[in-house]
């Protein structure tokens, strides 16, 4: 049984012109496919790992099961262009909605599904990590249609809430995301801990990309008259006249985004912004297409 399909037909068609790849492993500027050693269903044995739902029964080592009464899967070395991880911010601020459309988290689901589709087409391995008030949830890296469906089903049950967890909660990430792996964080980038995580992953030789998810209201600040603004994760409130604070908000918010861009660039993290009223494949084209993004 397949997982939910979050990709609109028009977007799916445009994905054909994109290809996942990493700068560092390519050994030069730009993004392109590269080769590395990864775990797969090849011929040269590498290691055992615990069985997970969806694994092929033929990969189970039945002799080891007879000795241990536990299911283990044989993994082998194989040439693979890429292992890609999608990290989804599921903190409370990701429940912010685009007027007349879905939330930031909805947009993250679509973008994540697009990445899984690209990885599937390339024969790459990919995994999912969701991070929010309930802690860290992982779908281990794998390949194939069943792996895609596992990731999509995990996204379907995901709900935004709470704050970004403590760094100690994220320690399992370091056990799963290896050096040279491609990591894409989908987030509003409002949590300092999320920025620190990207910096640390990049410093540890992970290829880190970031798509910052913003609403059109944050871009345009169209509010007029008295408004009460509430920070979703802390509950702090601010009452003000929208028109009176618009200019100051846009200036300060723009400066904050520029500072974040410079900070992440200094750490080797490539960042793009995505406003939710724009086509969902636009930020992926900015990261992975060989030609500039065409705006309508």
Q: Cα–Cα distance between 121 and 113 in angstroms, integer?
A: 12
Where do the structural domains in the chain lie, given as residue ranges?
9-35+81-288, 39-78
Q: Cα–Cα distance between 25 and 48 in angstroms, integer?
A: 26
What pLDDT is attached to residue 34?
Answer: 43
Strand partners, 35: none
Helices then strands, each counted (H, E), the chain:
10, 11
Tell me which fold the domain 9-35+81-288 belongs to. Rossmann fold (3.40.50)
The pLDDT profile of the chain, 296 residues, written as one tens digit per residue, is: 455 789 999 999 999 889 998 665 433 333 334 444 444 444 455 566 777 665 677 778 888 878 888 888 776 544 456 899 999 999 999 999 998 889 999 999 999 999 999 999 999 999 999 999 889 999 999 999 999 999 999 999 999 999 999 889 999 999 899 988 999 999 999 999 999 999 999 999 999 999 999 999 889 887 765 555 555 655 565 556 556 677 888 898 899 999 999 999 999 999 999 999 999 999 999 999 754 444 44
What pLDDT is attached to residue 290?
Answer: 58
What pLDDT is attached to residue 244?
Answer: 66
- 3-state class (DSSP) for residue 207: strand
Spatial contact of 260 and 195, defined as CB atoms under 8 Å apart? yes
Q: What's this model's pTM, rounded to 2 decimal places?
A: 0.76
Spatial contact of 12 and 195, defined as CB atoms under 8 Å apart? no
Q: Of 160, 281, 273, 125, which Cα lies nearest the Cα of 209?
A: 273
What pLDDT is attached to residue 17?
Answer: 84
- 3-state class (DSSP) for residue 163: coil
CB within 8 A of 10, min separation 6: which ones? none
- 3-state class (DSSP) for residue 160: coil
What pLDDT is attached to residue 234?
Answer: 57
Q: Is 62 exposed, middle or buried (0-12, 13-18, 19+ CB in 10 A)?
A: exposed
């Amino acid at each position: 049984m397949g997982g939910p399909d979050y990709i609109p037909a028009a977007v799916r068609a445009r994905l054909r012109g994109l290809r996942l790849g990493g700068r560092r492993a390519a050994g030069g500027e730009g993004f392109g496919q590269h080769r590395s050693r990864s775990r797969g269903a090849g011929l040269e044995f590498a290691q055992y790992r615990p069985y997970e739902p969806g694994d092929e029964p033929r990969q189970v080592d039945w002799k080891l099961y007879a000795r241990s009464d536990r299911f283990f899967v044989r993994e082998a070395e194989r040439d693979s262009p890429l292992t890609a991880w999608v990290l989804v911010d599921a903190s409370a601020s990701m429940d912010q909605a685009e007027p007349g459309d879905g939330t930031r988290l909805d947009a993250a689901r679509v973008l994540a599904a697009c990445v899984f589709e690209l990885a599937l087409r390339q024969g790459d391995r990919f995994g999912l990590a969701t991070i929010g008030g309930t802690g860290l949830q992982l779908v281990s890296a794998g390949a194939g249609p069943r792996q895609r469906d596992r990731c999509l089903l995990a996204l379907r049950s995901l709900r935004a809430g709470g704050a970004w967890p403590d760094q100690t909660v994220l320690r399992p990430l370091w056990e799963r995301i290896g050096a040279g792996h491609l990591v894409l964080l989908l987030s509003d980038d409002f949590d300092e801990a999320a920025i620190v995580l990207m910096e640390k992953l990049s410093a540890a030789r992970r290829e880190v990309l970031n798509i910052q998810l913003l609403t059109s209201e944050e871009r345009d600040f169209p509010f007029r008259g008295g408004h009460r603004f509430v920070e979703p994760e802390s509950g702090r409130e601010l009452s003000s006249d929208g028109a009176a604070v618009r200019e100051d908000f846009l200036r300060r918010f723009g400066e904050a985004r520029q500072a974040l861009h410079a900070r992440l660039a200094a750490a080797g993290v490539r960042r793009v912004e995505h406003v939710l009223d724009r086509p969902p494949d636009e930020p992926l084209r900015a990261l992975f297409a060989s030609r500039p993004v065409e705006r309508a």
